[in-house]
Amino acid sequence: MSDTSIEADLTRSANGRIAKERLYHGLLFCCAALTVFVTISIVATLAIDALEFFGRVNPYAFFTGTEWVLRSENPILGILPLVTATLIVTIVSALVAIPVGTAAAVYLSEYASDRMRSVLKPALEILAGIPTVVYGFFALVYLTPWLQGLGLDVSLFNLLSASVMVGIMIIPMVSSISEDAMSAVPDSLRQAGYGLGATKFEVSTKIVIPASISGIFSSYILALSRAIGETMIVVVAGGSRARMFDPSEPFANLLNSGQTMTAAMVQAVTTDLSGGTAGYYSMFAIGLTLFAITFSMNLLSNRIAARYREEYQ
């Protein structure tokens, strides 16, 4: 590298250039390292106050308790009702989002004409951009009355409409990541299938889906972890009464109100409870649990997705 380069910048002294490179390298590294700092602060924030909480409440009782009564005198703090409500929301939303999302992905990746794709993909993306508080509003003000109109005995706040809405919200997530995975399947595989006389249906279901299955699964996990962490829909439409799952009447659980872990956290900052009590600090213990769950699900999804990347790239 000589000083005869064409660019004015390049003609500056080599010394200054190296120093400048180092400076930028350092700055950019700081940007990337900031994300690690964010993770550490999340864990620290949650852990410090969660420790405070576990100083007052026995962790074993917390994680195995089947009753959640948040009140200023003698609160009963067992996380299981919140966990079961979260599970209900996750499962029902998965029942909505997985079939619809996967079918949409297959259609977009295998069947849709370019023109169709250019309309449907942005439309799905716009779906993904609707704020969750708006979805919550849809559930509370329109979906619940519809369900009541259909003859379902749902209460004003209920887990069913909240979960269905969470499901609709995560459809674009399932469809877009699954579609990416399906598009990553090399065309040669499809052509081999056609060469053997397979129909488009057979190619889609017996070649493309199995070949991209790890990507599809990773999209499911990501979407489910989003459903677990979803806050505003369940706060607005799901109610704030924690109820333990009642196995004797599985459907009644859906029709009643229920409180998920995220909703309990929001409630803890907006109640008449006095701060500094176990009830208040419970928010951080729930947050830590939630963080641990979503973190491990995301790790799992990364692992699975990494496998499929290795397969075809």
Nearer to other proteins, 62 or 171 (CB): 171
Nearer to other proteins, 137 or 245 (CB): 137
Nearer to other proteins, 34 or 150 (CB): 34
Q: How far is the CB of 262 from other proteins (least distance, A)?
A: 5
Nearer to other proteins, 213 or 232 (CB): 232
Q: How far is the CB of 60 from other proteins (least distance, A)?
A: 21
Q: How far is the CB of 40 from other proteins (least distance, A)?
A: 10
Which of 131, 144, 105, 106 lies closest to 254, judged by CA?
Answer: 144
- Hey, what are 1's tokens? 């590298």
Which of 296, 294, 312, 299 lies closest to 181, judged by CA?
Answer: 312
Q: Sort 134 into a burial class: Cβ within 10 Å, 0-12 / 13-18 / 19+.
A: middle
Helix axes 278-312, 14-56, angle to 10 degrees: 130
Residue 69 dihedral angles phi and psi, to the nearest 5° = -120, 100
End-to-end CA distance of the chain: 35
Q: How far is the CB of 63 from other proteins (least distance, A)?
A: 19
Q: How far is the CB of 115 from other proteins (least distance, A)?
A: 12
Which of 187, 218, 209 lies closest to 103, judged by CA?
Answer: 209
Nearer to other proteins, 65 or 136 (CB): 136
